[in-house]
Amino acid sequence: MGSILRFRHILTPDGLERHKRLQIDDEGRISAISDESGSDFDGWLALPGMPNSHSHCFQRAMVGQGEAATGSDSFWSWREAMYGVAGTITPEELADVAARAFADMLLGGFTSVAEFHYLHHLPDGSIGTEMARAVAEGARRAGIRLVLLPVFYQSGGFGQPAFRRQSRFVHRSVEDYLMLLGDLDDPGDLALGIAPHSLRAVAPAVISELECGAREVLGDDFPRHIHVSEQRREVTECLEHFGATPVELLDEHLPLTPQWSLVHGTHATEKEIRLMADRGVTTILCPLTEAYLGDGLCDVVGLRAAGGRIAIGSDSNVRIDAVEELRMLEYGQRLRRERRACLATGDGLGRPLWNAVSAGGASATGLPVGMIRPGAFADLVVLDEKSPALAGLEDDMALDALLTAGNATDIRTVYVGGKAVVHGGLHFCEDEIGGAFVATSAALRGRL
């Protein structure tokens, strides 16, 4: 049985539209959009829910850790702290942490998530689907739409064997990985893709083999994600080992198609940026995490000018807020270029940036999300017209204010498939998810 939602304003790919009725079918998709002549509305301004295109949900348990100065601190020293959490977490604990991360995503304006899942094996080294199923269980509890991207991980650096603390991530062969993929595809209740971790963790020739094998399991239409050019050291070592920069190296070994998403691209060269745009790949930026880890700033202005498609992800999940991700994205470019309105158009900043990034997220996840239009899922973020940042504003000015002055507290209601999972700024299952997370976090910290 379908349902109807009515809004005073909705943000569509064509812009803001006033007084609209959304007809939602039994699958939670928008079947029609029509004018609404009544005065009884379900909300003020509905935006397409933002796809979270890159997440490591287990890292939500690391919040507050690793902030003490430890000499020449960097991504690489932070990574050692991450291994401490990854080493002992159980499937039951992962489900609790995932549910917390995914509930926070919904509260923060994300309605779907591509989970870059590399914590595969059990603490004792046993191989199975338990850890992946725990992520799916966390998504079910929270009510978020999930695309699971099992990660293929083999080496500890360019030409280096994996080391002991990476043992839970590693598959010995492509065949072992494809077996996991096949097991997860049965009974067909998960949306799946593939994720070779990075060029430092998977040899480029193997990525082509991996993609071909995945086609036999999943067919041709599935998302492919990979970390690329996140740190300068990675780029330097790639050049030393292969004589090419990361994006150029990928393009040499496989066809980069619009089904590929490159995560970060922080230190991509001007030539690589043109290549990414020409190949139609999606570049997934994670501005809060890239700032948190001190990675640097991708030339997003150059990428957009070349016609490149962008999406965002919460990555380490130390802070989960779609509005703040977009603000950091824009403000980072302002600091890089020393000018304002870097990603804005003549229509302002909020509307074009939200639409561009949410549409890019649809490409990155391979889901019909990120747009309010017939055929898309009714995944919606409804703003609170009484919030201090937005009060008294209308049309594009409200969306510009959201990105420059707002945050997740300006969100009143969130729908996934037309069903409210956040109402009045509260998650529908907060007490259960919050209590389980507190207990699990304490247990994890006690083992560090």
Are 137 and 432 in contact by the 8 Å Cβ rule? The answer is no
DSSP one-letter string for 173-195: SHHHHHHHHHHHHSSS-SEE-BE
Is residue 315 part of the annotated active site? The answer reads yes
> Which position among 42, 295, 315, 384 bears the catalytic label?
315
List residues bridging with 117 in a β-sheet.
150
Nearest to 207 by CA among 260, 131, 165: 260
The DSSP secondary-structure symbol of 145 reads: E
> First and final CA of the chain: distance in angstroms?
49
Phi, psi of 298 (to 5 degrees): -70, 150
CB 106 within 8 A of CB 144: yes
> Which residue type, as a one-letter code, is found at position 285?
L
- State whether residue 340 is helix, strand or coil: coil
Give the whole-angstrom CA distance, residue 74 versus residue 97: 25
Q: How far is CA 34 from CA 67, 316, 363, 413, in A?
A: 51, 40, 26, 21
CB contact at 8 A, 233 and 79: no
Contacts of 324 (CB under 8 A, 6+ apart): 288, 407, 408
Query: Looking at 124-233, which runs of residues are DSSP E strands?
Result: 145-152, 155-157, 160-161, 191-192, 195-196, 224-228
**All residues at 6 or more sequence positions from 395 whose CB lies less than 8 Å from its CB, including other chains:** 9, 16
CB 95 within 8 A of CB 415: no
Q: To which H or E segment does residue 427 belong? A: strand 426-427
Note whether 115 and 195 are within 8 A (CB): no
CA distance 262 to 100: 26
Pairing, β 145-152 against β 160-161: unpaired
The catalytic position among 117, 264, 267, 427 is: 264
Half-sphere exposure of 142 (CA within 13 A, CB side): 32
Question: What is the rounded distance in angstroms from the CA atom of residue 351 to the CA atom of residue 355?
Answer: 6
Helix (H, G, I), strand (E, B) or coil at 77: helix
Q: Which of 3, 4, 17 is nearest to 371 (CA)?
A: 17
Q: Which residues are catalytic?
A: 264, 315
